[in-house]
Structure 1
Amino acid sequence: MITTDKPTVAGLPSGPVDPSPTPDESVTGRPRVLLVTGLSGAGHTTALKILEDIGYEAVDNLPLSLLNGVTRGGNNFARPIAIGVDSRTRDFTADALADQLNRLQADPGLDVRLIFLTCSDEILRRRFTETRRRHPLALDRPVDDGIRKERLLLAPLRERADLVIDTTDLAINDLRRLLRGHFALDQKPTASIAVVSFSYRHGLPREADLVFDVRFLRNPHYVPSMRDLTGKDAAVGRFVETDPAFQPFFESITGLLLPLMPCFEREGKSYLTIAVGCTGGRHRSVFTAERLAEWLRGQGLEVSVRHRDMARVAVEEA
């Protein structure tokens, strides 16, 4: 489930700066406060840089004792605020942050969200090793001890979070797209959709909201002339599309999605990730993801497409 051919999230530079929107551009009409927390090494700094790029005032490692002063008088915010608070922070505990969250969310003049970033132990271990950083909860002990301790410490906050982001398999552009989808200050009323193709051999995309399995379709891998092609090639597309099972399946998923989209929007879910998987993530899932994205755009939706495993070396599929 862990991929190693993507850049990691922590420490990477974010993209070009967007023009700073004004406070009344928040979707709710109230000044927005984003609290960003989670596991050390999961990408807090990068997430805050991205949020700053899209118009938030970003403050990292703010002591909890100062949080009240920073967020008081929300109507006077020059910009919406994103605040990083985690185990590095002076006077930090999960209970203390939960108390502050309760106070902020009780203020009818603020739109407050909690973002929790997490990651697999293997990738966290690698990030600390590559950067030669010590874990803040295990300064004189192995990194694994700090990771275990922090997971336990932050478990109640993960349960409270409005959005949990697992950065294990996310490249920097994926994280940027996800944060923009959820928290852009100039959001349109329609939802943004990400369609991801993937290989079941390498695990489900952790960010997926809906998953569709196309392993029942005929496999182009076993046609020698198509083995080295992908689902973006016309020959593979024709092969998959002429499978008698494809059209009924495709009509069933579009028939499912059509009435669901207004429901997601009504519930405030402004960003949705739809994953389509096959065994190798190279042929059937890629073609189906492209077709699905095309159909969604035809419904007037904003859609991005990512083929997570398409570039992997082709191997025999089961």
Structure 2
Amino acid sequence: MTLPEPARAFLAREGWQDALSRPLAGDASGRSYARLTLGEKIAVLMMSPSPDEVTHFENVGRWLLSNGFSAPQIMASDAPAGLMLIEDLGDDLIFDLVEADPAREAPLYGAITDALLALHRLAPPDFVAPLDATGLGDLTRLGQDWAPLLSAEAATEVPDLVTTLAARLDDLAPVLCLRDFHAQNMLWLPGRDGVARLGLLDFQDAVAAHPSYDLVSALQDVRRAVSPEVEAREIARYTAARGLDPDTFAADYALLGAQRALRIHAVFARLCLGAGKARYVDLMPRNWALLHRNLAHPTLAPLARAVGAAFAPPDAPLIERLKRECGTRPMR
């Protein structure tokens, strides 16, 4: 793998100039990754277009490590250049382990819930921004610009409805939410103990938010279908462990699930139309099904009506149209 000159200069400063590099699978962001091998040493090079992202990743990572969680150790960083050298936690993604052996889904998702419960017993660090009701609504405004619409007027109503509904969320103290918290961003580290067995990745967008946010992210994973039995069991375990009212938490969970699915719907359309990444539109039908499962909760009836009027369902003809138009609306 040929690295860009700033990355080569960074590695030379850190004594890794002779390392062999090979690309690692990226994600939906503009970040890229390389696995480095230097003799018996290994590391991961993260290259980001955002200096702030690198700084936040480093801050959140150090906080997680100091509280007993497994985040990659920070070996070196150059935030202005968007570069970071981090510990390589291996390849045992929860996603891959469960796909290879579905019998492992229940115990591994139990470990995910255990990690969230431990995380949520802690006050979030003061350097993370809050994701409040207004912020939750604003995150869905992307749909007005990128999601295929039935009614632009109805689409403008959706963010304000999300904000209004989110203002009524159960009054639980905010917790640290890693946000992109799903099976492809978690590693299984069986040689470690307790919550440290779950390796955490991709937390540069972490915020302080409602406790259901990351639970929804893990259990309503658009990339793999978590079994209904496991989802129900882990929700019940979480509410019981925290002494929460199940009905109230179910309403909160449905709202945060709907909010996430609305944003993901628009993000996937943008990744195709604006970034030329057609593969994401194949996930839109599953995300759409999750969205409407959440919207079926009685407390979300006004939002369900607005969404039904605003957005075109991602049926087969729409998916094909998005693929034909892939990359035709470059993002500025």
Task: Report the TM-score range of the alignment, normalised by the length of the smaller protein.
Answer: under 0.3
Task: Give the TM-score normalised by the residue count of structure 1.
Answer: 0.28
Q: Whose RCO is larger (CA < 8 A, sep 6+)?
A: 1
Greater strand share, structure number: 1
Task: Give the TM-score normalised by the residue count of structure 2.
Answer: 0.27
Greater helix share, structure number: 2
Question: For the pair shown, which has the larger CA radius of gyration, 1 or 2?
Answer: 1
